[in-house]
């Protein structure tokens, strides 16, 4: 299921095109913040090494590597961090 990165409401769009907007809040959907490759810890904030630099990550762009980050593949950062923390300091 696709979710808007701003309003967090479900989207029924199969393929997100360059100029698609969220039907609920009107924000652009083809943005880095909705991309599977978006990663704050990587160079250019992108795991795709060949992608061009994008200045405004919350505005529509023409990146050819864009893949919408479905809710099934998206893990909340806080939950993931807590899981890693517990694994690191678990008692044997």
Q: What is the pLDDT of residues 23-63, one digit of tens each?
A: 999 999 999 999 999 998 888 899 999 999 999 999 999 99
Count of structural domains, the chain: 1
Q: Could you tell me the two tokens for 8?
A: 């967090």
pTM across the whole model: 0.73
DSSP 34-84: GBTTB-TTSGGGBS-TTSPP-S-TTS----TT--B--TTT---HHHHHHHH
User: How far apart (Å, rounded) are the C-alpha atoms in residues 39 and 60?
Assistant: 17
Domain extent, residue 37, equals 1-92
């Amino acid at each position: 299921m696709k979710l808007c990165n701003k309003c967090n409401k479900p989207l029924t769009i199969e393929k997100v095109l360059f100029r698609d907007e969220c039907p609920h809040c009107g924000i652009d959907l083809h943005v880095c913040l909705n991309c599977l490759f978006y990663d704050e810890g990587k160079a250019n904030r992108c795991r795709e090494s060949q992608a061009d630099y994008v200045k405004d990550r919350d505005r529509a762009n023409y990146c050819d590597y864009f893949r919408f980050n479905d809710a099934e593949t998206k893990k909340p950062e806080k939950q993931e961090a807590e899981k890693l923390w517990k694994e690191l300091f678990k008692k044997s």
